[in-house]
Every structure is written in structure tokens, then in C-alpha cells.
Amino acid sequence: MGGTTRPAGTTRRAGRLAAAATTGLLATTGCAGLVDAAGPERSATPSPSPVMVMRVEKPEKLGSLPPEAHSRSMYNAAQASLGKLKLLLDGDATSAVGTAYESTDGQYAALVSAVAGPVRDPQKTLDVLFGGLPQLHDVAPTHPGPMGGEARCGKGEDNGLTVDLCAWADGHTIGMITWLSVPKTGNPASQLVSARAQIEKSATSPSSTGKTK
């Protein structure tokens, strides 16, 4: 994931972003509490194989952020969160994405985890997801965008970084995006809508990358 040599200052900033992905608040974005909250209900009422209505895919770039992060730690954190999101589905996943994006100056990063499959109760799904993230504050509903469903955002701080975490759930997908920044940048609620439009697609629409994930 990137072999380009970076200036020392950029490398230090990127190191702070990577550290936040594996310690402190972001270590819990793996949502450990989902195992207990979601597992028994799903196993007690198995569903038939899901019909693919929507899919999730990995954008080549997320907004203005370059393709994928240099940091394996951030990528692994996104993958860990993806594994836990799958536990909230009422059946099997039909597509999934877990990856990270990072600015070239090491000041800004985004971790993306999303899964497509049957979702029984989007509101309860977000109750469980954010219930597993007690370090976040100011968690509140936000506009989910034209694709509908439920969406919420919360805030936190980790290793001197600003953390904004937003998630959505509808009848066919669950997604979570965590933005890390050295200075606070952007509006996470509006960023969620634009990022979700890049990630969640109709199952019948062509892939923007020409590849399946």
C-alpha cells in the first residue's frame, strides 16, 4: 500500500493517523459489542439466501482523497469493522468493502466499512452500532441522502486528532465512515451523503471501477 517516500513531517502526521486506527477510540470502531448484541438473534432466525438489490463497492478515490491509504493499520481497522458490520445483517452479505483513504500530506484520512445484504430494522441496527461506541459524543440523526434509510453521526477525539464517525443503514446496506483529521476539516454530515453515493449502488448499475469487490 504505497511505496512512495514521504517528507518527515508528513510521515509523522500519517503516523498519528495510523496510531489512532489501532489504539484508543478507533480501536473500538470494530464494535466489539455487536458480537453479543447481534449474534444470538441472527442465529435464532436464519434467513434464506438474500436477493441482491443494492451492492457496495470501493471507490477509486473517496471525494478528494487519493486511492487507499499508505497505512496497513488503517486498512486493517476498516476490515475489522467490516467483519462486525456483517453480524448485523439478517442473512449473508452479497458484497462488502473495507478500506482506508489518506491525504498526501498525512493530515486527513477516512476509514470505510460497508456491507450489502438483508437488514431487518435499520434504526435498531444503528442503535446497536453506536451503542458499541460509548466514547463518541453528540451522536444525533442526520440526513441519509437520496438513498434513504437511517443515518447518524457522532464525534470524538483520539491522540490529539478530531474523529467524526457517521453510519447509515437501510433495508439492504449498512455502512460506516470514520474521518480522522489533525485540524478539523469539512462537514461530516454532508460528506456522508456524497461518500455513500460513491459506495452504495443499485445491483443492476455498472461498476464505477469495472471490477467487483
The residues near 98 (Cβ < 8 Å, ≥ 6 apart) are 75, 78, 79, 80, 81, 82, 83, 112, 113, 114
63 touches 197 (CB < 8 A): no
- pLDDT tens string, the chain, 213 residues long: the values are 544 444 444 444 545 555 555 444 555 544 444 544 454 344 444 444 455 689 999 999 998 898 877 788 889 999 999 999 999 999 999 999 999 999 888 888 999 999 999 999 999 999 999 999 999 999 999 999 999 999 999 999 887 788 999 999 999 999 999 999 876 667 899 999 999 999 999 988 776 554 444
Write down the pTM of the prediction: 0.80
Helix residue ranges per DSSP H, the chain:
8-22, 24-27, 34-44, 72-85, 122-131, 188-199
Query: Residues 174, 93, 77, 131: is their CA dihedral positive or negative?
Result: positive
